[in-house]
Structure 1
Amino acid sequence: MKNNEKRVALLMGLSLFMEMLDSTIVTTALPQIKNSLHITSANASLIISLYMIAVAIFIPLSGWLAKRYGNKTIWLFAIIIFTISSIGSGLASNFILMLSMRLLQGFSGALMVPIARLIVLENTPPQNLLKMISYVIWPALIAPAIAPFIGGILTTYWSWRLIFMINVPIGMILFIIGNTILQHESEHENKNATFDWIGFSLISLASASLLIALDIISSNKALNISSIILLLVFISSSIVTVKYLMNTKVPLFSMRTLRFSSYKVSQFGGSIMWLTVGAIPYLSTIFFQNAFHWSAIKTGSFVLFIFVGNIAIKPVANSIIQRIGFKNTILCSLFLIFITTLMIGTLTEQMNQIYILAILTFSGIGRSLALTAYNGMSLVEIPYDERNSANTLGAVSQNLSQEIGVSLVTISFSILNQYQPELDAYRLTYFLLGIVIIAPIVEIIIQPQSIGVVKQTN
């Protein structure tokens, strides 16, 4: 295996880390941002919502831009815009400027993340894919787990503006190294690639309507006419989008990659996993702060142990998958996630803190191992010329899943808390999140033992 392959994969992983850290750390600083900019809580939530919507809308654009102008060019462009918009967010003196910068951050993040994955996918032979994908995935797993801790430190002892400014040195390092080691590969370019405006509009409409509907529901703690209409728009536009992408001659991205069982299973099960990647650290953060009345720093220190679990399993994750196969690895890790999710919901403030840390660590182990297996399995059957479409579709589902996860636990707790005490509402939300894991467990059980090994040994 060439050393350059590893360097590129780690570099792309660092860009995913920067984007995911930025998208999750802001939650910790919202109270301080609200006070500093003199805005309401509803307006403050727009700082997160607008970013999420921008990412969802512009991700489908990444695949076409990569074809038209090249992976390296668009990735470097996205790094520059993300860094500049981070500076703008950190220096924002009013609400309008903040929203403008967050919109620009969302746009650049939507290009940076899928193209980072695409750079790795298009330059990695099948036999090395599992290892290279693991290099890309682990930084993305780290970010949501350490965000509460870093956010708590920065907002407690310094300023909320630093949560954006930390992107500046990372962005500069990424640009300098990326410009040096990345090759401009013209064979992947197609200067005459036409842009599918209809497909882009339909996907944008479906993504935006879903996220806005969930945001309205979580804010109002109930369904209303606006959210119902938006959910109907989401359902109808999703149906039209799938039919359109399957039947049009030159779609924004092809749905034909779903004909491969390993990719199809990875999309469904992997989406559930990405849902938990955002949901569990977020829910645990507000659970410990509100139910246990822990400080932001103590909460962040405990949630950090999800990251400890992520890292602890990484050195042996590939060996486990190679020894027992994708199916058994995924099945074991899903059961571990299911059990630990339920156990976190049973925690009390009086419990031994070592016990709490152990549960959070094992939760991280399960999530890390499952995502490594899902992502490693997803593309083993996909031909090189279809990896762009597979990557774009995967990026869309991954991004929506993470955002849906945070929205769903917020909605669940808000509704349950109207009928149950706060502590019970949190416990039931963890229970519901655990129930969600049953779906991919059933799916992987019915798969053949050989799933994912078709081209892994070639």
Structure 2
Amino acid sequence: MIDKRHRNKALLVAGCFFMEMLDGTIVTTAAPRMARSLHVDSAAIGLVITSFLITLATLIPLSGWLTQRWGVRPVFLGAIAVFTLSSLGCAISTTLPVLIAMRVLQGLGGAMMVPVGRLIVLTGTEKSDLMRLMAYIVWPGLMAPVVAPLVGGFITTYASWPWLFLINIPLGVVAFAIAWRIVDATPLETPSPLDRIGLVLTCAGLGALTYAAHLFSDTDISWTFATATVLASIGLLAAAARHLLRTEAPLVNIRVLRIPTLRASVTGGSLFWLVVGAGPFLLPLLFQNVFGWSAVKSGAVVLFIFVGNIGIKPATTPLLNRFGFRPVLIASTLVMTATTAAISLISADTSIILIAVLVLLSGIARSVALTAFSTVAFSDVAPQEMRDANSISATSYQVAAGLAIGVSTVALRAGGPLGRFLPGRPDAGTAYTVAFLMLALLSLGVTATALRMHPDAGADVRRKRSPVPASLPSSVRR
């Protein structure tokens, strides 16, 4: 039985995760009104989103060292305070530079808030309780990108854009009050010297990669500059990996990726986040721009992703306990592949009930798979390696979520030329057909990652599991 206090910590982190993910996507709906209010071009509002995502991605690796230096409780409380106060700063901003500066501060708070909160939950958690606690934390990340367009549309229709940020104030105050009561102080460790070279290389590489995603999603793209940014980010990240492997006290100990279950979660889970983030972005565009649906009708159908996410939650833990991580991941990623491929074939004449069923099934698949990936990541991690494993997992997932829209945009743009090779005559929906087929192939690649996992992967966190033969070495059982 999970301790009530520990469960409340997981729910608190889940609420913080929801705030962070909502803020990453909700601004898109209000971009035209924000542009008019700030007297800038609509395209410039993209920096309001990008500055937040870049700060998130670049500073998460620093969270582990900060908790060593100051302790998890002060860092977590400080992160909530910074996120909440910067939200107020965003709401009262009257110029674009000030708004972007406040968004950077928001990203700073978010980069510490969720990873450190998750570390609080993971620390001291029994392996048998890990699955249920991670299920609490994962679902807000699935829900926020789906409900953000609806919430953003409602706020901009019946209020004004500053309320996109003002809604964080009461949420942040409540989160801070709860955290103050239930998050305990932990003994301070002797921090290792800050790895400044690793910090610069890692943050610069992650920042460049996230900015490249913004460049590729821009309507007025410079392919030369965007490609150069991608190549620069790859070079910086390669240099960072080389440094982190060689230095005595690295910013993040990436040697923990030798653990097969963590490695499978980081690679497969990150790819899956790309597919998960693409759906809520592409589906409304398809429904409104090609099918001619209203925003309300489109939003109502896309909401079935959320219905699937929440509806399957009570069954996720029993499924993993009964069948194990590998079979569940294979099945759920295959369902995601099949539904994504099927969505590529729908048209304005397709029954709305069938479309809703496909969207619902995709929501179920993404919920099960991401819960499984997020849990199996820590199933074989030793307590002394949990901080590094958490930083790597959080960073990879956040970067993938930030890249999702850029990948979707590139797939959509490639859909035009590639659509000429499909049977039939190209039309307005052909680019979307190709984009969803490309995402289906990406999802199939995630299935290949799951197939390579050992059948007993994550056995230690399952409540009901088959005995593992003693003759098998621990490295194989992982």
- In the superposition, the TM-score normalised over structure 1's length comes to 0.95
For 1:330 and 1:191, the matched residues in 2 are separated by: 39
Partner of 1:105: 106
Contact 1:54 1:106 in 2 (8 A): yes
**How far is 1:227 from its partner?**
2.2
Does structure 2 retain, via aligned residues, the 8 Å contact 1:269–1:440? yes
> 1:280, 1:57 → 2: CA distance?
25
| Partner Cα separation in structure 1 for residue 453 and residue 418 of structure 2 | 40
Opposite residue 181 of structure 2, the aligned amino acid is T
Deviation at 1:304, TM superposition (A): 1.4
- Offset of residue 328 of structure 1: 0.5
AA aligned opposite 1:20:
M
TM-superposed CA distance for 1:383, in Å, is 0.5
Q: CA deviation at 1:131?
A: 0.9
After TM superposition, the structure 1 = structure 2 runs for residues 340-379 of structure 1, keeping only pairs within 5 Å, are 340-379=339-378
- 1:400 positional shift: 0.7
| Structure 1 residues 217 and 143: alpha-carbon distance in aligned structure 2, compared to 1, 3 A threshold | closer
The residue type equivalent to 2:194 in the other structure is: F
**Would the aligned equivalents of 1:149 and 1:299 in 2 still touch at CA under 8 Å?**
no
What's the counterpart of residue 320 of structure 2?
321
Q: Please list every run of 5 or more consecutive structure 1 residues that lacks an aligned counterpart in the other structure.
A: none
Cα contact 1:196–1:251 (8 A) shared by 2: yes
| Alpha carbons 2:206, 2:233 under 8 Å: kept | yes
Instruction: Find out whether 1:434 has 2:440 as its counterpart.
Output: yes
**Matched-pair contact (CA < 8 Å) for 2:305–2:360:** yes
Query: CA contact under 8 A between 2:16 and 2:114: conserved in structure 1?
Result: yes
Structure 2 residue aligned with 1:338:
337
- One-letter identity of the residue aligned with 1:233: A
Amino acid paired to 1:108: G
Worse-matched range after superposition: 378-387 or 42-51:
42-51
**1:153 touches 1:297 (CA, 8 Å); kept in 2?**
no
Q: How many residues align?
A: 456
Deviates more, 1:389-398 or 1:413-422: 413-422
Give the Cα separation in 2 of the matches to 1:415 and 1:38: 33
Q: Find the counterpart in structure 1 of residue 158 from structure 2.
A: 157
| Distance 1:150-1:455 versus aligned 2 partners, 3 A rule | closer
The one-letter amino acid paired with 1:143 is: A
Q: Contact conserved, 2:89 with 2:102, CA < 8 A, in 1?
A: yes
SS of 1:437's equivalent in the other structure is helix
The within-5 A match list for 1:49-60 is 49-60=50-61
1:16 maps to which residue?
17
Segments of 4+ in structure 1 off by > 6 A? none
* Correspondence for 1:400: 399
Report if the CA contact (8 A) 2:65-2:191 is conserved. Answer: no
Aligned to 2:469: none
CA deviation map 1:63-106 (0-9, x unaligned): 11111111111111111111111112122222111111111111
User: C-alpha distance in 1, partners of 2:35/2:230?
Assistant: 29
**Alignment partners' CA distance in 1, 2:220 and 2:334:** 31
Structure 2: distance between partners of 1:455 and 1:312? 23
* Residue 343 to residue 31, structure 1, CA distance change in 2 (3 Å): farther
Aligned equivalents of 1:294, 1:86: Cα separation in 2: 33
Q: Is 2:102 aligned against 1:96?
A: no
Number of the residue aligned with 1:260: 259
Q: Paired residue for 1:62?
A: 63
Relative to structure 2, which stretch is displaced further, 75-84 or 340-349?
340-349
Contact 1:59 1:114 in 2 (8 A): yes
1:443 maps to 449
CA 1:68 to 1:33, structure 2 compared with 1: closer, same or farther past 3 Å?
same
Please give the alpha-carbon distance, in whole angstroms, between the structure 1 residues aligned to 2:221 and 2:39.
27
Tell me how far apart the structure 1 counterparts of residues 329 and 145 of structure 2 sit (CA, whole Å). 21
Q: Distance in 1 between matches of 2:398 and 2:53?
A: 8
Question: Structure 1 residue 199: deviation in Å?
Answer: 0.7
Give the Å deviation of 1:213.
Answer: 2.4
Could you list the per-position Cα deviations for residues 253-306 of structure 1 after superposition, in whole angstroms to 9, with x for gaps in the alignment?
111211111111111111112222221111112222222233333322221110
Residue 137, structure 1, aligned to residue 138, structure 2:
yes
Task: Check conservation: 2:214, 2:406, Cα contact below 8 A.
Answer: yes
Q: Is the 8 A contact 2:68 2:191 kept in 1?
A: no
TM-score with structure 2 setting the length: 0.92
Instruction: Check the 8 A contact 2:414/2:435 in 1, yes or no.
Output: no
| Alignment partner, residue 471 of structure 2 | none
| Residue identity in the other structure for 1:154 | I
Aligned AA (2:14): G
State the distance in 1 between where 2:461 and 2:351 align: 47
Summarize the alignment of residues 400-419 of structure 1 with structure 2, pairs less than 5 Å apart: 400-417=399-416
Q: Residues 312-364 of structure 1, C-alpha deviation per residue, up to 9 Å, x if partnerless? A: 11001000000011001001100111111122222223332222221111111
- Secondary structure at 1:422's aligned position in 2? coil
Alpha-carbon contact 1:144-1:277 (below 8 Å) kept: no
Shift of 1:382: 0.3
Match of 1:116 in 2: 117
Counterpart-to-counterpart distance in 1, 2:405 and 2:223: 20
Give the alignment of 1:235-250 within 5 angstroms: 235-250=234-249
Superposed CA deviations along residues 385-414 of structure 1, whole A, max 9, x for unmatched, are 100000001111001111111111112223
Q: In 2, Cα distance between the equivalents of 1:103 and 1:330?
A: 36
Code of the aligned partner of 1:142: M
The unaligned stretches of length 5 or more in structure 2 are: 420-426, 466-478
Q: CA deviation at 1:371?
A: 0.8
CA distance in 2 between counterparts of 1:295 and 1:393 reads 41
Q: Report matched runs for 1:227-242 at 5 Å.
A: 227-242=226-241
Structure 1 counterpart of 2:468: none
Percent pairwise identity: 35
SS at match of 1:45: helix
**Partner residue of 1:287?**
286
Structure 1 CA distance for aligned equivalents of residues 189 and 380 of structure 2: 24
Given that residues 216 and 409 in structure 2 are in contact (C-alpha distance below 8 angstroms), is that contact kept between their aligned partners in structure 1?
A: no
Distance (whole Å) between structure 2 residues aligned to residue 452 and residue 257 of structure 1: 16
Provide the rounded CA distance (Å) in 1 between the counterparts of 2:106 and 2:417: 35
Opposite residue 393 of structure 1, the aligned amino acid is: I
CA–CA distance in structure 2, aligned partners of residues 74 and 312 of structure 1: 34
- 1:295, 1:101 → 2: CA distance? 33
- Which position in structure 1 is the counterpart of 2:384? 385
Specify the SS of the correspondent of 1:449. Answer: coil
